[in-house]
Structure 1
Amino acid sequence: MITTDPVGDWTWEAASDGRGVQPSRAFEVAAAVWNVLARVGIATPVAEVGVTVRSVGDMRDVLFEETGLPLESEPFDPRTALSRAASQVDSLQGDFVVAVRMRCPGMWTVPGARHRAEQLFTIQADVWKRSLTAVTLETYSDVWLTMDTRDREQIATYDENAPRLALALKEISELLGCAPTPGDENRYATPTETGFADIRIEGPAYVDAWGTFEVPARSRRLRSSLPPSEDEYAETTELPVHYFTVQDEAQVLGYVWAAPAENAAGFEPRTAAGERAFEAGRAWLLQLREAHRLGLPAMDALNWLAQQPTSSGTGRLLEKTPRSCPSLDSLEEISGRW
């Protein structure tokens, strides 16, 4: 399953040799860690980079900020946006903290297939006052675990993916000259220096952690930027649902659904598609609100959506008629697995 909160994380801290480091080292270290992930086959282009520089004296004081910078094949060629940002950071005066954060698409495998997530990892590299360099790696998938985050054993998937994560952690430690500090046990798993503890030994911390925590978190994220409205269908149902697949070019963004027996309707973002799934979902939810305002029952609203023109970036409905799913939980499972 793919999550919006990390399944686990690891942090490395490397002090300078006393001569100090350039602030742009944060850029170089983050790119080097990405290269390790790419070399072992779990990161793919193109990473998206954000940079923030804050004053040590007042962390609310932002001295420099850029977002959406691509990690190009030659990231420190003087002509790249990342190189220009690094040069600007190096020119700053005073005591400050540089934070470089990369959102990394990546690939994982199951027997006979490969899958991509638009945020399989994030890398954050910080340089504090030109001395301490700290790197944190976070992962947003459970394919490194012996049991998935819905409490199902997945040894074949673990065997295909966990060794590559272990190799990446080892190579990052060699790169930085220190061992990682694994993150704390969380709702999903317990990180270790080589990956994750075997969840089969003591059992999961929560029953169906993905369904318990991830599904509500996705809903909050999906709706957080929408204005309040009374024109809403019920958001949940225990009954069977009908749905359309929403696709943009070759990528599935999610599923717009309705449960006629309970007049419920909504959108399930395909988590692996990243922020594009949430952007599309907000647009479909606004259309559902319009259908509710028109007084349409949920199933009629679904068919009404099929007749409406689509806007750029929102995706199109793949099917001509709605498909059926035995429950909303089953549809949520589909939206989170691949």
Structure 2
Amino acid sequence: MITTDPVGEWFWETSVDVLQGQGARRALQLFGRLRSLGSDLGLVDGWGHGGVSVVTLKAPRHVRYEWEGVGPLDRAVEAAEGRFGEDATLHLWSVLPGEWLDADGAARRSERLFALRLLVWPQGHAGVSLAAYSDAWMTLDLRERPQPEVAAANAPRLAALLGAVSGLLGAEVEPGDPTYFGRPTASGFEDLADEGTDYADPWSTFAVPARWQRMLNLLPKGYEEQSYETFTEGPVRYVEVRSGGRTVGHLWAGTDDNSAGYEPRTAAGDIAFTAGVPLLQEFAKARQAGTRSLDALRAAASSMPGAVVQDIESLDALQELSAH
């Protein structure tokens, strides 16, 4: 399962040579080498959404330079070069897509497998963090079900990545605090197979609400009051929402004919959320016009080439379908 919030995070302290005004460029070189470690292990594949910023140290602090986009950070760092000096910090970050292995050994891609960050202070002191967004490294998945084959295939790869980062930086790794989903260690995650997780069903309890909150942040204020009920205990019907040849989410309506919504496929990345915005807005218009939710779903499906309305036993099952 892929979450919108990290399942775990790790930290290192290091330094960057900032002499002769080359701090930003050398920070980029280090950042690229860190990313390459994941690529060499077959975990990271490409660049995702990222950013560069220069923030002043003295109060009131302000952002002197900022860039966000998709892909390598080279040009943004070049533009930030002259603005990072003795009175500011430099921030580099990138979401890293990559692949994890399922129980059958098949590769499963996520557009948000890791997030890498580098923060550099004026004197060259630097901090590195790596956050993971998949439960593939854990002996229990986020629904507390044993997944020994998945963990056996993926946990050693995460351990190798953490060890490689420590080796490159010449620094010990500092595991982050426990999350709703797991307990990070210096080599990955604690084995929870015997004692279980800290929370019951963290996928339903934390991951699904966080995902829906992210959707709401993209929608106009008051959306929930204008549209259908967003929960149902009965069966649902749904259509796959596709973009660029891949499934990015699932648009659904309850068989009670009064509930409907959209479940983003988190592994698809940001497009999973943005693709749902116009669809949910159309649902709100349909509800305001007195259209029953199943009719609204059929109307939406008719506008999607090749879309087929399918049945599934529950909203919970559809949410889990969208988890990978």
TM-score normalised to structure 2 length: 0.93
Change (3 A) 1:293 1:16: closer
1:327 aligns with 2:314: yes
Describe the shift of the 1:156–1:106 C-alpha distance in structure 2 as closer, same or farther (beyond 3 A): same
Structure 1 residue aligned with 2:136: 143
Instruction: Tell me which of 139, 151, 160 is aligned to 2:153.
Output: 160
Q: Which residue is 2:228 aligned to?
A: 233
Please list every run of 5 or more consecutive structure 2 residues that lacks an aligned counterpart in the other structure.
none
What is the deviation of 1:251?
0.9
Deviation beyond 6 Å, 4+ runs, structure 1: 17-21
Aligned partner (choices 111, 116, 125) of residue 123 of structure 1: 116
The aligned residue for residue 105 of structure 1 is 97
Q: Is 1:222 the counterpart of 2:209 in the alignment?
A: no
Question: In 2, Cα distance between the equivalents of 1:259 and 1:18?
Answer: 58
Distance between the aligned counterparts of 1:306 and 1:16, measured in 2? Answer: 53
Residues 16-31 of structure 1: pairs in structure 2 closer than 5 A = 22-31=23-32
What is the count of residue pairs matched by the alignment?
319
Q: Which residue of 1 aligns with 2:66?
A: 65
Q: Identify which range, 13-22 or 276-285, moves more after superposition.
A: 13-22
Per-residue deviation, 1:59: 6.6
Deviation, 1:262, is 5.4
AA aligned to 1:91 is G
Q: Distance in 1 between matches of 2:18 and 2:98?
A: 36
Please state how far the C-alpha of 1:14 moved relative to its aligned partner: 1.3
Using the TM superposition, give the Cα deviation of residue 17 of structure 1 relative to its aligned residue in structure 2, in angstroms.
8.1
Letter in 2 for 1:274: G
Please say if residues 52 and 66 of structure 1, whose CA atoms lie closer than 8 Å, have aligned partners that are also in contact. yes
1:211-290 aligned at under 5 Å gives the runs 211-227=204-220, 228-229=222-223, 230-261=225-256, 263-290=258-285
Task: Please state whether the residue corresponding to 1:201 is helix, strand or coil.
Answer: coil
Question: Which of 172, 175, 187 lines up with 1:179 in the alignment?
Answer: 172
TM-score by length of 1: 0.90
Corresponding residue for 1:292?
287
Task: Indicate which of 86, 101, 111 corresponds to 1:94.
Answer: 86
Q: Which stretch shifts more, 256-265 or 115-124?
A: 256-265
C-alpha contact 1:247 1:317 (8 A) present in aligned 2: no
Cα distance in structure 2, aligned partners of 1:18 and 1:252: 44
Task: Name the residue aligned to 1:6.
Answer: 6
Q: CA RMSD in A?
A: 1.8
Shift of 1:293: 1.9
1:194 — aligned with what?
187
How far residue 202 of structure 1 moved from its aligned partner, in angstroms, is 2.6
Bigger Cα displacement from structure 2, 2-11 vs 283-292: 283-292
Q: Which amino acid aligns with 1:3?
A: T
Offset of residue 290 of structure 1? 1.6
Report the 3-state secondary structure (helix = DSSP H, G, I; strand = E; otherwise coil) of the residue aligned with 1:202.
coil
Which secondary structure does the structure 1 equivalent of 2:322 belong to? helix
Residue 42 of structure 1 aligns with an amino acid whose one-letter code is L
When residues 59 and 245 of structure 1 are mapped into structure 2, their CA distance, relative to the original with a 3 A threshold, is farther
- What one-letter code is carried by the residue in structure 1 that aligns with 2:314? S
C-alpha deviations, 1:184-240, integer Å up to 9, x for none? 111110111111110123310101101101111111111212222443100001111
2:184 aligned partner, one-letter code: P
Mapped contact 1:27–1:125 kept (Cα < 8 A): no
- In percent, how many aligned pairs have the same letter? 37
